[in-house]
């Protein structure tokens, strides 16, 4: 199974690039963040024509997460238990934002478009419980959104601990835009981030805490690169980027990961997202 995560920064704007990426990289499952649309606005036709099932969660033109799978897609959840709320004027009060989407993928042969007959020789992909995550930004260290971000990560970690306690063999993946640069090497210049979010000690501790409940970040040991470059100040040409998109896997799933890649070239050209895809190869 080739699984990718990508903050697409508006799926309606970038659907052609997304479809080209899926074809070029032979992706079986794509977790998307910042789709910036409601489910009825999502451009389903190209995905469905290419053999992908879709789960889409969006409330308005902000945030939003989606998952496309050509190896099966079941058991959809649009939030994790206890997911913190945020006050939204446009949505009329405190809401659980569209920042988390859980599904089970697998059960069909990888690369099956459309799915083959039941007696096909191709082996089925073993299931994976997958969450596409768009972690809150935090904005500023003194902003309420920063506290919201830390609460969001803490609650998710507690839920993960409970899931793995109940089922230690659960093949679980938490993927997406974490909005945390957990190490100094994950930003181009720590001086430029002094007093800013994404690199603060509480955020980094909240990110690393997932290791303490049995998760492993499976891309860092296999690939080194940034995953995000701001549109401003020529950040990409100067390679002034950040590494904030990650894949956390449970022990059962981490044992099945064989390779990882960051598609840096996807940041090039007209109409690029400010993030690039992160890909993992899973047995």
Query: What are 126-139's pLDDT values in tens digits?
Result: 999 999 999 999 99
**Is 226 designated active site?**
no
Q: Which domains does the chain have, with CATH numbers?
A: 2-108+124-282 (3.60.10.10)
Its sign, for the CA torsion 259, 265, 271, 272, is positive
Three-state SS at 76: strand
Tell me if 67 sits within 8 A of 6, measured CB to CB.
Answer: no
Q: What is the pLDDT at residue 109?
A: 85
Catalytic residue among 28, 52, 134, 148: 134
Q: What is the pLDDT at residue 41?
A: 98
Helix and strand totals (H; E) in the chain = 5, 14
> Cα separations (Å) of 273 from 15, 43, 132?
11, 17, 17
Residues tagged in the binding site annotation for Mg(2+): 7, 34, 177, 179, 274-275
Tell me if 44 sits within 8 A of 81, measured CB to CB.
Answer: no
- Provide the CB-side half-sphere exposure for 205 (13 A, CA): 6
> What share of residues in the chain are helix, strand, coil (percent, to 5)?
25, 25, 45
Alpha-carbon distance of 278 to 5, in angstroms, equals 5
**Which residue ranges in the chain fall short of pLDDT 70?**
112-122
Residues tagged in the binding site annotation: 7, 34, 177, 179, 274-275
Q: What is the pLDDT at residue 182?
A: 98
What would the two tokens of residue 9 be?
């920064």
- Provide the CB-side half-sphere exposure for 177 (13 A, CA): 28
In 3D space, the residue among 133, 124, 126 whose CA is nearest the CA of residue 101 turns out to be 133
Three-state SS at 207: helix
* DSSP state for residue 187 in the 8-state scheme: B
Query: What are 234-274's pLDDT values in tens digits?
Result: 999 999 999 999 999 999 999 999 999 999 999 999 999 99
Tell me if 87 sits within 8 A of 93, measured CB to CB.
Answer: yes
Q: What is the 3-state secondary structure (H, E, C) of 224-236?
A: CCCCECCCHHHCC
Its sign, for the CA torsion 109, 114, 118, 121, is negative
Catalytic residue among 28, 177, 186, 245: 177
Tell me if 167 sits within 8 A of 109, measured CB to CB.
Answer: no
What would the two tokens of residue 156 be?
């998710």
> Cα separations (Å) of 224 from 28, 184, 260?
23, 13, 10
Q: What is the pLDDT at residue 107?
A: 83
Beta-strand pair 100-105/128-134: antiparallel
**Is 143 designated active site?**
no
Tokens 């803490």 sit on residue: 154
Alpha-carbon distance of 174 to 132, in angstroms, equals 7
**Is 275 designated active site?**
yes
Tokens 């994790």 sit on residue: 80
Alpha-carbon distance of 7 to 30, in angstroms, equals 10
Q: What is the pLDDT at residue 88?
A: 87
């Amino acid at each position: 199974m080739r699984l990718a995560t990508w903050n697409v920064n508006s799926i309606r704007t970038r659907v052609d690039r997304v479809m080209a990426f899926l074809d070029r990289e032979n992706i079986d499952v794509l977790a998307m963040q910042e789709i910036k649309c409601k489910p009825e606005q999502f451009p389903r036709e190209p995905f469905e024509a290419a053999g992908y099932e879709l789960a889409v969660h969006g409330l308005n033109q902000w945030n939003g997460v989606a998952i496309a799978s050509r190896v099966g897609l079941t058991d959809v959840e649009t939030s994790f238990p206890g997911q913190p709320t945020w006050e939204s004027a446009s949505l009329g009060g405190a809401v659980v934002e569209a920042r988390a989407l859980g599904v089970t993928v697998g059960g069909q042969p990888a690369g099956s478009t459309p799915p083959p007959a039941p007696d096909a020789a191709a082996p089925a992909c073993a299931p994976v419980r997958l969450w596409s995550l768009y972690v809150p930004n935090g904005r500023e260290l003194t902003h309420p959104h920063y506290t919201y971000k830390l609460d969001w990560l803490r609650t998710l970690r507690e839920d993960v601990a409970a899931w793995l306690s109940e089922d230690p063999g659960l093949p679980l993946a938490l993927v997406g835009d974490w909005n945390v640069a957990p190490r100094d090497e994950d930003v181009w210049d720590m001086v430029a981030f002094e007093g800013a979010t994404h690199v603060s000690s509480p955020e980094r501790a909240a990110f690393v805490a997932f290791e303490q409940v049995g998760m492993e970040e499976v891309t860092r040991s296999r690939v080194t690169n940034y995953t995000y470059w701001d549109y401003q100040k020529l950040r990409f040409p100067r390679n002034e980027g950040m590494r904030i998109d990650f894949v956390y896997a449970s022990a059962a799933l981490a044992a099945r990961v064989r390779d990882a890649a960051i598609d840096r070239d996807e940041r090039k050209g007209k109409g690029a997202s400010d993030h690039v895809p992160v890909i993992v190869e899973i047995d």
